[in-house]
Amino acid sequence: MMKRRNFLRASLGAGAAGLAASGWLVAGAADAVHGADALQWRDRMLLGFGTVLSVRVVHPDSHQAERALDAAVETIRHVEAQMSLFDHDSALSRLNREGVLLRPHPDLVNILQLAQSVSARSQGAFDVTVQPLWTAFEQAAGRKALPSPEAVTAARAAVGWKHLSVSESAIRLGRPGMGVTLNGIAQGFAADLVRSRLQASGIAHALVNAGEWTSLGHSSHDQPWLLGLQDPRDAQALISRLALDGRGVAVSADNECSFSPDRRHHHIFNPHTGYSPAELSCVAVAAPSCALADALTKVMFVAGREGALRLAGEWGVDVLVVDKQGQWQATPGLQLHAA
């Protein structure tokens, strides 16, 4: 399965200088939100979706803050039980083994319906049925090789979002050898669910890292939450810092999981070719939902630099793209600060 990393690193407020070396949250003078000394900040870290996740909340009642964190973890575990390929017994794993899943959970139906709508609108640039391509490259990597053109062609024959049937009563794979991966959207979906559950728990200020990022309210001193966007070629360097504005933010990069030293072949596939898009090394998307942002990072990868900047306007989102040479460009709606 995919070994994920965090390319967004959390910084507490516009004035905060410290950044977590591993992508985790940094402790700081966060209990100065609104000048209320009684506010209690609580953090929770956990392993999920093959990486380290984190949730930070604030509330006057420390017990309620802890209960909200318990609910956040419960929500993430629920999403994993439905959608994670790291879990052999998840609903998605069962679908891939058996080709059909009867009476699926509504959340699994919802995320697949969103995925199918993005596939339709992007003309298949995003496609959750690319799992056979992943399998072909992963198996070849075990031999320290790349799959043959014939193996890629065979894997592509099993890919096709139009052959995935999704309804409240059943989810079906319509071709032999098909497989679904939600690694490109489930983390964003989990972030959205956690954010909603925190709101329902009375949490007004929070930062959620479920593999992708979303937030509530503010960080310290009424400042927005800031995320540092890591340079995909230098883990110790930042391209810029991004202020969250209530939208979800997702990032995909070619060194998350590479199948070749030059990163020409990696975990993001163009479903139309069976190979990785060649132009970009990193894409960040800010969208109304984190799930949509997550899915659109792959659409933008396939589109390339100029295509991504154009598509951002068509989708009503903002993007930052980094090419293979390290040159980057962002749409005007992103609130960027010097790194």
CB 136 within 8 A of CB 151: yes
Spans of the chain, pLDDT less than 70:
1-37, 220-221
Read off the pTM: 0.89
Q: What angle do CA 81, 86, 89 make, to 5 degrees?
A: 50
Instruction: Report how far apart, in Å, the C-alpha atoms of 161 and of each of 40, 100, 120, 244 are.
Output: 46, 15, 9, 32
β-strand partners of 180: none
- Look at residues 164, 149, 151 and name the one whose alpha carbon lies nearest to residue 108: 164
What's the pLDDT tens digit per position in 279-308? 999 999 999 999 999 999 999 999 999 999
- Look at residues 264, 316, 315, 259 and name the one whose alpha carbon lies nearest to residue 125: 315
DSSP string, 243-304: E--SSEEEEEETTSSBSSTTSSSBS---TTTSS--SSEEEEEEEESSHHHHHHHHHHHHHHH
Determine the residue type at 235.
Answer: A
pLDDT at 37: 52
pLDDT at 8: 46
Assign residue 284 a region (left: φ > 0; alpha: ψ between -120 and 50; beta: otherwise).
Answer: beta
Q: What is the dihedral of CA 178, 182, 183, 184, to 10 degrees?
A: 100
pLDDT at 18: 26
Helix axes 62-83, 91-98, angle to 10 degrees: 0
CB 210 within 8 A of CB 246: no
What pairing do the DSSP bridges indicate for beta strands 234-243 and 40-48? unpaired
Which letter does DSSP use for residue 128 in this model? T
Phi, psi of 275 (to 5 degrees): -120, 170
pLDDT at 316: 98
pLDDT at 26: 29
Using the structure block, give the residue that is written with the tokens 């879990």.
87
What's the pLDDT tens digit per position in 183-208? 999 999 999 999 999 999 999 999 99
CB 173 within 8 A of CB 179: yes
For residue 191, what is the enclosing H or E element?
helix 186-200
d(CA 162, CA 127): 9
pLDDT at 221: 66
Determine the residue type at 311.
Answer: L
Residue 164, SS3 per DSSP: strand
> How crowded is residue 258: how many other Cβ atoms within 10 Å of its Cβ?
17
pLDDT at 20: 30
